[in-house]
């Protein structure tokens, strides 16, 4: 019974973890506290039993990856995803998780194509990561262009607005545009308000 309840919850939990890690580490801790370590470990045992019966059950495989991530066993989860890709698995969750692992290593150049692949397959949460990586790689024009396109599809993605605003600032574009992006990002994600305040304050404007 536990596997039926937890497998779907854990998979969605992993997506939450991947999204919030950009700017809200406290949200990660809050999500982890919803599940006890014993519950997670028991779920992992049951997932592995399912996979022994059907090694090709990709939903169970992704649930295993999610559970390992929540348990802090990222390297194991990454190895599973890498093996799946080598075996020909082509699923957005797998690509996004691999991108996230590279992101956590601050390896923007390797993370970028992985997030791009996930996003191209309809994994909407990866769009913000693509914009972030482009900006970190100093590909500011591409970052702005990408965000312009994807905001049409994901108008509530704070990370897209945030990275477009910072890229525009580096490109010395209109401060009105920069601050509009940062304000929109802060409205969607209040944890980003400090960036808007520091860049768009009256004191900064007078300099």
Where do runs of H (alpha helix) occur along 105-192?
A: 108-120, 126-136, 140-151, 158-170, 175-188
Mean pLDDT of 106-123: 96
* Mean per-residue pLDDT, 48-57: 91
Per-residue pLDDT averaged across 62-85, rounded? Answer: 91
Identify the band that residue 4 occupies on the pLDDT scale cut at 50, 70 and 90.
very low
The chain-wide mean pLDDT, for the chain, equals: 85
Q: What pLDDT does residue 32 have? A: 56
User: How confident is the model over 167-187, as a mean pLDDT?
Assistant: 96
pLDDT of 21 > 90? The answer is: no
Ranges 15-29, 35-49, 98-112, most confident: 98-112
pTM beyond 0.75: the answer is: yes
pLDDT of residue 5: 46
Q: Please determine, for residue 23, whether its predicted confidence score (pLDDT) is greater than 70.
A: no
Burial of 188 (0-12, 13-18, 19+ CB in 10 A): middle
Alpha-carbon separation of residue 45 from 40, 52, 58, 61, 200 (angstroms): 9, 11, 16, 12, 51
* Residue 73 pLDDT exceeds 80: yes
Give the start-to-end residue ranges of the domains of the chain.
1-9+39-89
User: What is the model's pLDDT at position 206?
Assistant: 41
Q: Are 63 and 14 in contact (CB under 8 A)?
A: no
């Amino acid at each position: 019974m536990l596997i039926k309840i937890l497998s779907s919850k854990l998979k969605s939990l992993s997506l939450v973890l991947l999204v919030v890690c950009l700017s809200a580490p406290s949200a990660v801790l809050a999500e982890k506290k919803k599940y006890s370590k014993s519950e997670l470990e028991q779920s992992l045992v049951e997932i592995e039993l399912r996979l022994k019966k059907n090694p090709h059950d990709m939903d169970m495989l992704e649930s295993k990856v999610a559970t390992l991530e929540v348990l802090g066993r990222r390297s194991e989860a990454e190895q599973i995803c890498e093996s799946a890709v080598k075996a020909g698995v082509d699923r957005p969750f797998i690509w996004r998780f691999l991108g996230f692992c590279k992101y956590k290593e601050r390896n923007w150049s390797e993370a970028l194509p992985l997030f791009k692949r996930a996003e191209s397959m309809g994994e909407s949460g990866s769009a913000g990561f693509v914009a972030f990586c482009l900006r970190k790689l100093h590909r500011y024009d591409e970052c702005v262009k990408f965000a312009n396109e994807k905001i049409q599809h994901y108008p509530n993605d704070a990370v897209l607005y945030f990275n477009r605003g910072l890229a525009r600032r580096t490109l010395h574009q209109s401060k009105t545009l920069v601050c509009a992006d940062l304000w929109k990002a802060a409205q969607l994600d209040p944890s980003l308000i400090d960036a808007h305040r520091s860049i768009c304050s009256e004191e900064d404007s007078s300099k």
